[in-house]
Amino acid sequence: MSQMIVVGLQWGDEGKGKIVDLLSPAFDVVARFQGGHNAGHTVRFGERHLTLHLLPSGIVRPQVSCVLGNGMVIAPDALREEIEGLERQGIEVGERLFVSARAHVILPTHVLLDRAREEARGEARIGTTLRGIGPAYEMKAGRCGVRIADLDSDDLIELLRAQHQRIAPELANLGAEPPPKPSALLAACRQQAEWLAPWTCDVAVLLDRWQGEGKRILFEGAQGALLDLDFGTYPYVTSSATTAGGVAVGAGVPPRRIDGVLGVVKAYATRVGGGPFPTELDDGDDGIGEHLRRRGNERGTTTGRPRRCGWFDAVAARYARLLSGVDLLALTKLDVLDELDEIRVCVAYRAGGREIQELPAAAAELARLEPVYETLPGWRQDTRGALQLADLPAAARSYVVFLEQAVGAPVALISSGPRREETILLDHPELKRLLGDRYAAVRAHRDGP
C-alpha cells in the first residue's frame, strides 16, 4: 500500500518526467493533479524520446492507469492531439485513461486573454506559456468556469455566455481580436464532450476505490514549488498549487493517505519566463550560464524558449522542501556540471548588509537580494551514464552530500543523463520502504530489456 508524490522543487523542468517514468513499475496508477499543457515532461529511453504535456508520464508503460485530476485545466483539443501523437508512436492510451468530470476546460477565449494580457504587460510580462492556463483558473476561482461535466449539459450555452461577458470587454480594452461567439463554441464543446465521455469519471471516488484494493498510486506534479500560486515568486508564478498539498485538493486524496514525497531538483537552477532569479548567471556568450544552457540543452519543452540558467539556490530549495514535506530527493542533470572548475551554491541572501535565510514574499525584494555563495571544487570528469555512486568522482560525491545538507533531505536518486538507463538508484531505506517489493522492478526497468 503506497501513495507517493513527485514534485519539482525549483521553477519547473527539474526532470520530473524522467523520474516518474523510472519509478512507474512500482505503481499501478500515475495521476496528475494540477496544471495543464503548460507542462512539458520528457521521457527518454533507448532511442525513444517522448514529451508529455497533459498525460502523466506513466502512460509510457502499458500496465499503468493514468489519471487527470480535478485540479487540472484541460484543453480537450490539446489532449486529443497528444493522445493521437502517442498512438502514432505505438503507445495506446485506450482504456487506461481517467479524466475528472470536475476538471476545468481551457476555452479558446482563455488563450486569447492570456496572449493579450502578456502583450499588454510589455517588459513586466510573466512569460506564460500562452496556453490559457491563468485565465482558465481565474474563471474557476471566479465561479464561472466550464468543467468537463458541463460540456454536454443543457446549461452550457449560459456558461459560455457568462464567460464571454467577462472576457470580451477586457479583450476589447486590450485592443485584441474579439473572442468567438458562445454559439460558435457550442458545437466544438459538444463534440469534445462526446469524445471525452468514455474517460470521464469521479477521480476522487476512483482513487479511493483503488487505494482500498491495494493499488499503488504515484502523483506527478507539474511546474515546481517556486511557481506555486501561493508560495512561488508571485506574481511570476503559474495559477495552481504545485506543492504536495496540491494532491489533496487536486485529486481529492486525504493528506493522511500519502506515504511519501519525493522532490526533484536539478544540480543547478533554471527558469523560463520572467520574474526574480537571484542566482541567475547572466554572463554573456562565453559565460557559465550559456555553458549550462548548451550542455544542459536548456530550452523549454513546451515553448522552445531558452531557459535562464544559474547556480543552485539552496535557500529556495530548502523552502520548497519544507512546503512539500519532502522525504527524499532526486538530483538530476549532475552530468551537466562535468566541465566546470568550480561550482557555486547559494546558501543565504544578503540584503542591505544583512544575511537572510528566507525567501522574501515580495518579488521586487527577492530581485534586489545578493546571493551568498559557497564555492565547491568541480570534478572535470565525464559522469554521463554513471550507474553507481562509486562511479562518481569524489568531488561530485561531495557536491551531492553538500546539497543534501543544504536542502535538508537525503538524495535517493541521481540522474546522470537524460535517458532512463542513466540513473544511480541508491540503496536508501526510505526509497525501499516507498517502493516496497517493487524496488527490484524499478532497478530492472532502469537496466532495460
Applying CB under 5 A, which residues contact Mg ion? 13, 40, 301
* Nearer to ligand IMO (CB atom), residue 44 or residue 131: 131
Q: How far apart are CA 125 and CA 121, in angstroms?
A: 5
The three cell numbers locating residue 425: 538508484
> How many residues interact with ligand IMO (rule CB under 6 A)?
24
Pick one of ligand IMO, ligand GDP, Mg ion, none as the site partner of residue 415 (Cβ within 5 to 8 A by kind): ligand GDP
Q: Which of 227, 267, 269, 315 binds ligand IMO (CB under 6 A)?
A: 227
Active site residue 447: no
- Give the residue among 40, 151, 166 at the shortest CA–CA distance from 109: 166
Pick one of ligand IMO, Mg ion, ligand GDP, none as the site partner of residue 238 (Cβ within 5 to 8 A by kind): ligand IMO
Q: Does 131 bind ligand IMO (CB under 6 A)?
A: yes
SS (H, E, C) 285-327: CCCHHHHHHHHCCCECCCCCCECEEECEEHHHHHHHHHHHCCC
Residue found by looking up cell 547556480 in the block? 311
Active site residue 41: yes
Q: Residue 328: CB partners within 8 Å, gap ≥ 6?
A: 260, 261, 262, 263, 409, 410, 411, 412, 413, 428, 430, 431, 434
* Nearer to ligand GDP (CB atom), residue 182 or residue 221: 221
Q: Which of 18, 140, 445, 446 binds ligand GDP (CB under 6 A)?
A: 18
Q: Does 301 bind ligand GDP (CB under 6 A)?
A: yes
Q: Does 222 bind ligand IMO (CB under 6 A)?
A: yes
Q: Where are the alpha helices (DSSP H) in 313-393?
A: 314-324, 363-368
**Torsion sign over Cα 56, 62, 65, 70:** positive
Query: Which residues does residue 3 pair with via DSSP β-bridges, in sequence order?
Result: 217
> How many residues interact with ligand GDP (rule CB under 6 A)?
23
Q: How far apart are CA 425 and CA 442, in angstroms?
A: 9
* Nearer to ligand IMO (CB atom), residue 227 or residue 426: 227
Catalytic option among 28, 37, 41, 327: 41
Smallest separation (angstroms) from Mg ion to the CB of 388: 27
Q: Which of 211, 223, 243, 324 binds ligand IMO (CB under 6 A)?
A: 223
Considering only the stretches 100-108, 124-132, 288-296, 382-390, report the one whose residues sit in contact with ligand IMO under the rule CB under 6 A. 124-132
Q: How far apart are CA 279 and CA 282, in angstroms?
A: 9
Element (H, E) at 98: strand 97-100
Sites of contact with ligand GDP (CB under 6 A) = 8, 12-18, 40-42, 44, 296-297, 301, 332-333, 335-336, 415-418
Residues lying near ligand IMO in the complex (CB under 6 A): 8, 11-13, 38-41, 126-129, 131, 133-134, 222-224, 227, 238-239, 272-273, 301
Which residues belong to the active site? Answer: 13, 41
